[in-house]
Chains A and B, each alone.
Chain A
């Protein structure tokens, strides 16, 4: 994949993930072919491509959520900082604490707003009330939802609107103080206004976190991301700075996709 190596050579800031010759099979189905990609610190990397091309499959490897799917087989290498994630015997719980995830459908737990956010810290052993309070309000503020929920901390999170729920889920992920945030189509179930809020939030968050976002929406990738990876049928067709991918793609298939000729 020459394009991806070009992209990594162009930028000298640190790699958070280094993906090399990565392959994935669901049973006999070869879902990802020989992926090479460098994900840079404090950047937003967008994964685009038609549905079924392997974006979710790929992002789930960055926090080992694929461990949960029986019959998955992996080959190659994904390094998180210097730690090998592929077929390695790492502390998955610690990895997931550092590499948080936000899902397509907002999935707050059926608990109060407060307990949703405090769930992660409590899981990782924070018992002190003052510390929990600080983490909860800090995370809610960082996810730009504090003002909307500060008077209803003890009512059920299921009573919030879809967009609020999704920001709550981002706050929940931030509460365990991660380094990376993975988002799999976080706005595809939301209205345009909520989508705008989440995009704005993502751009703020990249100051402190590294973000990988799957999106169906090419405009979204263009608006918020620094790097874009275009997947097609399990291949990484092209990867590079977003401006370049959108203004001057090297591969004909990338051009066809971003100009809306298919997908």
Chain B
């Protein structure tokens, strides 16, 4: 009896230390990334001037008189992410409601593995399919010389964030206690009213978590976007414009960059990092509010 207890304490101690070390390592890595990005990203901002860097509308990094304005990338990332959410969130949300509450078991048994599969497909494949199917389709439909641009990128991003939005929303909807549904039906409400007036509001904190994931994935995506966005450093004045995102701006020049150009790319990475931190903080705040209510 005593021996058993001793053993138990020992495993608990070991577990404690293992988790402590892992936790410290985790925090350490994040801190290291922060510090490194700050050190690597600040010099160019100082040299170029923060206002010229953030609000300059021209990026010409290899010109004889180089210009390092990243407003086109910032706006493209913002528009691209918002666009992807505007398309992807309702689509994912209604799919989730349908899967969790309405569809026959058999349909669900087919659709759920497909959604899982979609989540696991590498982004380069999305980009490839976008290039082969979506870009020509946009060119034909709108009669443009080239179909790649902001719209194609938005659609690809929307499709890419669908699986995570669906999965997280389904989980959130299914976590809503059955008693709420019964209570509503017993008052004479029908199934659809019950879903949208009781179940979905009860799941709203989980559904905002789905938005967090979607925004995070959309703003951080580089590869698929690079293949369909056209990749010219234009201001995103229209949805057909050939554009670069913050991510693709870094990725497309990094391999051959040098000097101030290279430093500026680090600065773009720093801006992207700041964006992701801010968005996460805002959405986390919303999430906490949702849980409290």
A-B complex is real? yes
The distance from the CB of B117 to the nearest CB of chain A, in whole angstroms, is 29
B180 near A96: Cβ-Cβ < 8 Å: no
A176 near B187: Cβ-Cβ < 8 Å: yes
With an 8 A cutoff between CB atoms, is A14 at the interface? no
If A123-B193, A156-B293 touch, whether A110 touches B180 (CB-CB below 8 Å) is yes
Of B8-16, B53-61, B195-203, B275-283, the segment with at least 4 beta carbons within 8 Å of chain A is B195-203
The distance from the CB of B249 to the nearest CB of chain A, in whole angstroms, is 44
- Which among A94, A95, A97, A109 is the interface contact of B183 at CB below 8 angstroms? A109
Q: Which A residues lie within 8 Å of B293 (CB)?
A: 110, 156
B179 near A110: Cβ-Cβ < 8 Å: no
With an 8 A cutoff between CB atoms, is A68 at the interface? yes
Q: Which A residues lie within 8 Å of B197 (CB)?
A: 119, 123
Produce 1/0 per residue, B174-218, CB < 8 A to A: 000101101111111110010001100110000000000000000
Most buried by A among B183, B185, B201: B183
B185 near A96: Cβ-Cβ < 8 Å: yes
Q: Which B residues lie within 8 Å of A92 (CB)?
A: 188
A65 near B188: Cβ-Cβ < 8 Å: no
Kindly state the separation between the CA atoms of A196 and B19 in the bound complex, as whole angstroms: 50
A173 near B187: Cβ-Cβ < 8 Å: yes
Kindly state the separation between the CA atoms of A170 and B185 in the bound complex, as whole angstroms: 15
B201 near A97: Cβ-Cβ < 8 Å: no
B185 near A107: Cβ-Cβ < 8 Å: no
Kindly state the separation between the CA atoms of A110 and B201 in the bound complex, as whole angstroms: 8
With an 8 A cutoff between CB atoms, is A172 at the interface? yes
Instruction: Tally chain B residues at the interface, Cβ within 8 Å.
Output: 18
Kindly state the separation between the CA atoms of A156 and B292 in the bound complex, as whole angstroms: 10
| Interface contact tally, CB-CB below 8 A | 65
Q: Which A residues lie within 8 Å of B182 (CB)?
A: 65, 68, 103, 107
B185 near A123: Cβ-Cβ < 8 Å: no
Q: Which B residues lie within 8 Å of A97 (CB)?
A: 187-188
Produce 1/0 per residue, A76-112, CB < 8 A to B: 0000000000000000111111001101010111110
If A109-B198, A109-B202, A110-B201 touch, whether A120 touches B188 (CB-CB below 8 Å) is yes
For B203, the closest partner residue in chain A by CB is: A110
Q: Which A residues lie within 8 Å of B186 (CB)?
A: 63, 65, 96, 100-101, 103, 173
Which residues of A142-185 are within 8 A (CB) of B? 156, 169, 172-173, 176
Which residues of A107-152 are within 8 A (CB) of B? 107-111, 119-120, 123-124
For B199, the closest partner residue in chain A by CB is: A109
Q: Which A residues lie within 8 Å of B179 (CB)?
A: 103, 105, 107
B198 near A120: Cβ-Cβ < 8 Å: no
If A109-B198, A110-B201, A156-B293 touch, whether A124 touches B188 (CB-CB below 8 Å) is yes
Kindly state the separation between the CA atoms of A63 and B186 in the bound complex, as whole angstroms: 8
Kindly state the separation between the CA atoms of A105 and B197 in the bound complex, as whole angstroms: 21
Kindly state the separation between the CA atoms of A176 and B180 in the bound complex, as whole angstroms: 17
The distance from the CB of B99 to the nearest CB of chain A, in whole angstroms, is 18
For A158, the closest partner residue in chain B by CB is: B293
Which residues of B150-189 are within 8 A (CB) of A? 177, 179-180, 182-189
The distance from the CB of B63 to the nearest CB of chain A, in whole angstroms, is 58
- Which among B180, B187, B202 is the interface contact of A120 at CB below 8 angstroms? B187
The distance from the CB of A126 to the nearest CB of chain B, in whole angstroms, is 12
The distance from the CB of B201 to the nearest CB of chain A, in whole angstroms, is 7
B180 near A103: Cβ-Cβ < 8 Å: no
Q: Which B residues lie within 8 Å of A68 (CB)?
A: 182, 185
Excluding A120-B187, A123-B184, 15 further A-B contacts by CB distance (< 8 Å) are: A68-B182, A96-B185, A100-B187, A103-B186, A107-B177, A107-B179, A107-B183, A109-B183, A110-B202, A110-B293, A111-B201, A119-B198, A123-B189, A169-B183, A173-B187
14 residue pairs bridging A and B, Cβ less than 8 Å apart: A65-B186, A68-B185, A94-B188, A100-B186, A103-B183, A103-B186, A107-B183, A109-B198, A109-B202, A110-B201, A119-B187, A119-B197, A123-B197, A172-B187
